[in-house]
Amino acid sequence: MKPQYVYRWVNNHGVILLFKKVLLRRGDLFARLTGSADGIENPYALIEQMRGEGGLHRTHPVWITFDHGMVREILRDNRFGVGVPTVLAPRPVLRALKRRPLPPNPVDPPSMLAIDQPEHTRMRKPVTAAFTPRAVARLRHRIETVTEELLAALPDDGPTDLVARYAAQVPIAIISEMLGFPDSDREMFLRWGDDISPLLDLGISWRTHQRAMESSERVHRYLVEHVERLRAEPGDDILSSLVIAGDLSTYELCASATLLMAAGFETTVNLIGKGIIWLLRHPDQLDRLRAEPELWSNAVEEILRIDPPVQTTARTTRTALEIGGIRLREGSTVVLSLAGANRDPAVFTNPALFDITRDNANNHLSFSSGIHVCLGGGLARMEAAHALRALFEVFPDLRLTDPPTRRQLFTLHGYKHLPAHTGPRVHSHQTVG
C-alpha cells in the first residue's frame, strides 16, 4: 500500500465519500445525483429538482451550479483553477510525496486537465496542432475506413453488443493510430480505460481507486517503453512529434499520452452509444435524418446537448471572490453541472425535448469552455457523425434486444452494454459529406 495512493484517496475521495454516505441517509439530492443508482440511471430528474432559481447551491462539502451562464462564466474565469485543494497533508508529507510521484493519469498533474496557467499552456501547445480543423479533416478517410471495417465485422441479421463491437472500437482505433500504438494493443487499452476512468468521479471507493492506480502504473510502464521506441524510430504520429520536439520530459510525455488516450476514447464511446439510444427511441428523428442527411452534424450537437458524455467538471477558487451574489472563500470547490447547463430553460426552449433541428444546439457546454475546452471536440463530432450515420444506413432495421446497461460512473456517463439485433444488412451506403 503506497502512501501517496493513500493520501490521494483520502484527500480526493475519502472525505467526500464519507460526506456522501451521511447525506445519502438523509436523502440529500446531490448525494443521490453523484452516488446512487437513480443518479446514474436518470440524473436529469434530480438535476431539475436541484436547479431551483439558478445560481449557486450549497451542498456540503462543495457548491454546485446548473446555470448555463454561470457555468460558462466560471469555466472562463482565471480566478478559478482546476486543482483539487490539498487540505489534509502537512507540508513535510507533501514534500515526501513529490519524491514519489503518482503514475501519470488523466486527472493528476501534469495532465492538462489538472493544471492551470502557465504550465497548462506549456503542456497543451505542443499537442494543439494535431487537433486543428485541418488536421482533423485529414482523418476523415481513415474514420470512414475503420467504420466500414467494423460494420463489415458485425453479424448480418444477428445479435451483437454495440458498445463492445462498435461504439468503443471506432474511437480506440483512431486515437491508437494517432499515438502510434499497434492495433494489437487496443483491447488492453480498453481494459485499462475501464479501470482508470472512475478517477474522474467524486468519492470512489478505496478498492476502485487502488485498481485505477495499479492500472495507471501499468500504462506508465507501457508508455515509457513506447516513448523509448519512438526516440529510436519515430513515426508520423502525435507522440513521435512530441518526442522529436523535445519540449516535454518522459514523465510529461506519458502524462500527455495518457490524457489523449483517455479523452480520445472515453468521450466518443459514450457519445456514439448515447446517439444510438436516442435515435432508436425517437424514430421520427431518425426518419428525418434519413430524409435530410445534411442534419447529421446538428443531430450530433443535439445529442451532446441533451445527454452529454461528461456530466460535470469542477473548479476551485484561487482567491476569495464573489459570484452570483455569493461570497466564496479561497479553496472553495464548485461543481459545474454541464448536463444541467445544457438543459437550462433560459437558453434552450423546451430543453428536455430531443430535436435534431434545434437552432442553438451547439450552445451546449459538453466540451467545456475557456482554456480547458476539449482539444478533441472536433474529432469526436466527426467520429460520431460518421459512425452513427453509417450504422443506421447499413442496418436500417437495427433494434435493441434487452435494456442497455449503464456504466456505473457519474462523471463519464454512458453505456457499458447495448444488446442489439442488427437486422438485414444493406450492402451500400453513402459516406458523411
**In b/e form, how buried is each residue of 162-190, taking b as 16+ CB within 10 angstroms?**
bbebbbbbbbbbbbbbbbbbeeeebeebe
Predicted confidence at residue 433, as pLDDT, reads: 45
Q: What pLDDT score does 87 carry?
A: 45
φ, ψ (nearest 5 deg) of residue 317: -70, 130
Q: What is the pLDDT of residue 98?
A: 62
Using CA atoms, how far residue 2 sits from 197, 210, 221, 265, 282, in Å, is 20, 10, 17, 29, 49
Q: What type of residue sits at position 42?
A: N
Domain spanning 3-101+114-421, CATH architecture:
Orthogonal Bundle (1.10)
pLDDT, tens digit (0-9, with 9 covering 90-100), for 343-361: 999 999 999 999 999 999 9
Give dist(CA 282, CA 285) in Å, integer.
6
How is residue 315 annotated by DSSP? E
C-alpha cell at 220: 506508465
Question: Cα–Cα distance between 161 and 421 in angstroms, integer?
Answer: 9
Q: pLDDT tens digit string along 112-163?
A: 999 999 999 999 998 998 899 998 999 999 999 999 999 999 999 999 999 9
Question: Could you tell me how far CA 94 lies from the centroid of its own chain?
Answer: 29
352-385: per-residue pLDDT in tens? Answer: 999 999 999 999 999 999 999 999 999 999 999 9
Are 106 and 200 within 8 A, CB to CB?
yes
Residue that has been written with the C-alpha cell 481494459 in this structure: 191
Give the pLDDT confidence score for residue 95 in this predicted structure. Answer: 61
Omega of the bond leading into 3 within 30 degrees of 0 (cis):
no
Place of cell 462523471: 411
Question: Which residues on neighbouring strands pair with residue 159, listed in sequence order?
Answer: 421
What is the longest distance spanned by two Cα atoms in the chain?
66
Angle (deg, nearest 10), helices 250-281 and 206-232: 120
In angstroms, rounded to a whole number, what is the distance separating the alpha carbons of residues 67 and 44? 14
Place of cell 483553477: 81
338 closest CA partner among 61, 28, 65: 65
pLDDT digit of tens for each residue in the chain (433 aa)?
A: 688 888 888 878 888 888 888 888 888 888 899 888 888 999 999 999 999 877 899 887 789 999 999 999 999 999 999 965 544 445 555 565 566 678 999 988 899 999 999 999 999 998 998 899 998 999 999 999 999 999 999 999 999 999 999 999 999 999 999 999 998 999 999 999 899 999 998 889 999 999 999 999 999 999 999 999 999 999 889 999 999 988 899 999 999 999 998 888 889 999 999 999 999 999 999 999 999 999 999 999 999 999 999 999 999 999 999 999 999 999 899 999 999 999 999 999 999 999 999 999 999 999 999 999 999 999 999 999 999 999 999 999 999 999 999 999 999 999 999 999 999 999 765 544 4
Q: Which residues contact 247 (CB under 8 A, 6 or more apart)?
A: 122, 126
Per the DSSP assignment, residues forming a β-bridge with 310 are 412
Beta bridge partners of 337: 312
Those residues with Cβ within 8 angstroms of residue 286's Cβ, 6 or more apart along the chain or in another chain: 279, 280, 392
249-270 pLDDT per residue, tens: 999 999 999 999 888 888 999 9
Predicted pLDDT of residue 327? 95
CA distance 399 to 414: 18
Q: How many residues does the chain have?
A: 433
Q: Return the pLDDT at 84.
A: 58
